[in-house]
Amino acid sequence: MLTRTELEMMREIFERETGMADLKRKYEEYKKFDTPRYFEKMKKECVLDDYLKFMNDCENFFGNDAVTIENILTLTKNRIEDRITLPKPSSALEAFKNRFNKFF
């Protein structure tokens, strides 16, 4: 049986190796656009639906029990690529973020 510290370390490794840590950072970057003002800008640029989908996908992904610390050992025994699909923003949404990211 692993200690909590060992499990935390394994989770950090798991998140880094599977791209989950990068997804968390990306989610935080996009979260800054969750204001009425940016919603209007995204609506004008026709990326509001993309934004809402990406944010919902991220929230559902991180809320999923499949990636909790208790299941890391099970996931590492199987092919991780077959079990985890990380949400990705659309290219239009990425371009929108890059234009306004300089303000943050």
- Give how far Cα 79 sits from Cα of 9, 11, 29, Å: 20, 16, 29
- Domain extent at residue 18: 4-103
Give the helix ranges, DSSP H, for 1-104.
4-18, 20-31, 36-44, 48-63, 72-77, 80-83, 91-100
19 token code pair: 């791209």
Residues belonging to the chain: 104
Q: How many domains does the chain have?
A: 1
What is the rounded (10 degree) CA torsion for 83, 28, 69, 66?
-30
Q: Does the pTM exceed 0.75?
A: no
pLDDT tens track, the chain, 104 positions: 778 888 788 877 877 777 888 898 999 999 999 999 999 999 999 999 999 999 999 998 887 645 555 555 555 555 544 556 788 999 999 999 999 877 66
